[in-house]
């Protein structure tokens, strides 16, 4: 329990931020998992789903949930797997 009024407010803000970050992070992870499942099944739809995955990763990076280089690495590795599908 925070002792000061400002500490209590910061705690409330932190809870809200954590919830928002978790929502973005979970969405990114779920879409990425769907893409990886499609890749394992050799599904050709993965190329259409790729744009959604990239969009989710970019949004997470923009909002600071993941770092810019982490986003680039995730996109690169996914694209590498998609190109190997051909």
Domain residue ranges in the chain: 5-85
What does the pLDDT read at residue 86?
Answer: 66
pLDDT in tens, the chain (86 residues): 899 999 999 999 999 999 999 999 999 999 999 999 999 988 878 888 899 999 999 999 999 999 999 999 999 999 999 998 86
Three-state secondary structure string covering the chain: CCCCHHHHHHHHHHHHHHHHHHHHHHHHHHHHHHHHHHHHCCCCCHHHHHHHHHHHHHHHHHCCCCCHHHHHHHHHHHHHHHHHHC
Q: Assign domain 5-85 to a CATH class.
A: mainly alpha
DSSP state of 2: -
**pTM: predicted TM-score of the whole model, two decimal places:** 0.86
């Amino acid at each position: 329990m925070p002792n000061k009024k400002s500490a209590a407010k910061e705690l409330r803000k932190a809870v809200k931020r954590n919830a928002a970050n978790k929502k973005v992070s979970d969405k990114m992870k779920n879409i990425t998992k769907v893409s990886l499942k499609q890749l394992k099944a050799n599904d050709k739809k993965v190329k259409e789903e790729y744009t959604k995955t990239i969009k989710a990763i970019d949004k997470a990076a923009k909002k600071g949930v993941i770092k810019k280089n982490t986003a680039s690495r995730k996109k690169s590795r996914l694209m590498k797997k998609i190109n190997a599908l051909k």
